[in-house]
A and B are shown apart, each in its own frame.
Chain A
Amino acid sequence: MAKDLLYYLVFPGFLFLAVTGGFLSWADRKVTAWLQFRKGPPLLQPFYDFFKLLLVKETILPAKGSPMTFLLAPVLGLTGAALSGVLILLPAFGMKSGFSGDIIVLFYLLTIPSLTYIIGALAAGNPLASIGASREMKLIISYELTFLLIIAAVILKADMAIRLGDIIATQQDRGAFCGSISGVLLFVAFLFCMQAKLGFVPFDMPEAETEITHGCFIEYSGTAYSLVKLTKYMMLFILPAFICTLLLGGLRSDGIHLLWTILKFMGVLLLITLIRNTNPRLRIGQAMRFFLIWMNLLVLTAIILSYYDL
């Protein structure tokens, strides 16, 4: 019991996710700065931002909205992110092998943060926030089908195993799924889904700063916004960890494998940052077409290829 609590609150859980996510967010900002020939923020910048919002700033409640829903939405989102992080990282680090069907539970848990952004934005009673919420909703509708198909393809490749531990074990026997043609296609599609889930640039229309001024989060301030920020830091750690688990052979932390794990992880993060910095923002209709037609076709091709063991 106490060990489980430790899992959820300290090691692969809340605290570890938050701290690592903060540093990853710094890495993301620093790489962005380098790409633009700037110097970038200091190492502890995400933590300064978080503690400033948490401790110093005033939290303003919307006058024409539902304050309780507005405040509870970020808490729910944080819980969803932390839970999915624990369920991914316990099998990924090889501490537990997970339970049967946990990959499907993870699919739902990973949707919770985006869903709470919508709930919070609609409770804020701000027109720009509701535009952001409607865009986020359309974005979820478009990428979730692709995401589900990717998971189905991975399950097919792992001989119908629906336990994360088994999927990792299969990859450690036969080499990572990414080593085949279908694996590469799945990796590409997953990368774009991840971009949309994180709200990074080609798909950042729910919170377009220059257009609808942070959209979903326009009314958040102080403590509530700090929780939103923390959720974003955590997702920046969880989703690359998920892609490493599903397609790149898991995160092993023994001996020389640790170095390899860190390299894999930073590679995925670098790819996301590069896509983010070299693309313009799409319109929501373009994003829907991109996912519903092209990405789904890509993943379906991958499923057919993996049926023939390619």
Chain B
Amino acid sequence: MGFKEYCFKKSLWVFHFGGASCNNCDIEILDCLTPRYDIERFGMQLVGSIRHADVLLVNGSINQKDRIRLLEIYRQAPKPILVVAIGACGCTGGIFAEGNTFAGPVDKIIPVDAYIPGCPPKPEAIIAGIVKLMKK
């Protein structure tokens, strides 16, 4: 592993995109930042601007309106960017998969690097998923 990749993997900054979520996944993502789980150990930070992000966390079912915004956010992100789909809705569509306004799971809209299923996934599962992403 080269120096560049090593630095990249040691400092993944996370940007959180919530689609039409029921907020359970959002709360579990916030849990990762709390003292108990503390993802800053791995050098991860939650950033507010997509321009600073290295990882785009997408959760919730993506409907027609979210789709446009998700594409716009992905287009504005500085490359290389990793996309992680979190929760049943992000990975497959979950219970919304046959809804009227549903615009497809995340991987139909933008390329996804890791899937973390669960409804909602535990913080341990989210951390395990991101660590797998770092080792990839």
Interface residues of A (CB under 8 A from B): 29, 33, 36-42, 44-45, 47-49, 51-52, 55-60, 209-210, 213-214, 217-222, 225
Contact = CB atoms under 8 A, between A and B. Distances in A.
A48 B11 contact: yes
Given A38-B40, A213-B48, A214-B47, A52 B11 contact: yes
Give 5 nearest A-B pairs by CB, closest first. Answer: A213-B48, A221-B51, A48-B10, A58-B78, A221-B78
A60 B77 CA distance: 9
A289 to B, nearest CB: 27
A203 to B, nearest CB: 18
A209 B6 CA distance: 27
Contact of B43 (A42, A60, A220, A221): A42
B41 A40 contact: yes
A225 B49 CA distance: 12
A150 B38 CA distance: 40
A220 B51 CA distance: 6
B49 A52 contact: no
Contacts, number: 85
10 contacts: A41-B40, A41-B41, A44-B10, A52-B4, A52-B8, A52-B54, A209-B48, A219-B49, A221-B51, A225-B52
Given A56-B7, A58-B79, A48 B49 contact: no
Interface string B28-63: 000000010010110100011101101000000000
Interface residues of B, number: 23
Given A45-B43, A49-B43, A60-B76, A38 B38 contact: yes
A45 B11 contact: yes
Contact of A48 (B35, B38, B43, B48): B43
A217 B7 contact: no
Given A36-B35, A48-B11, 18 more contacts: A42-B41, A44-B10, A45-B43, A47-B7, A48-B6, A52-B7, A52-B10, A56-B4, A56-B80, A57-B54, A57-B79, A57-B80, A209-B47, A217-B52, A218-B48, A219-B51, A222-B78, A225-B52
Contacts of B7: 47-48, 51-52, 55-56
B19 to A, nearest CB: 19
B35 A38 contact: yes
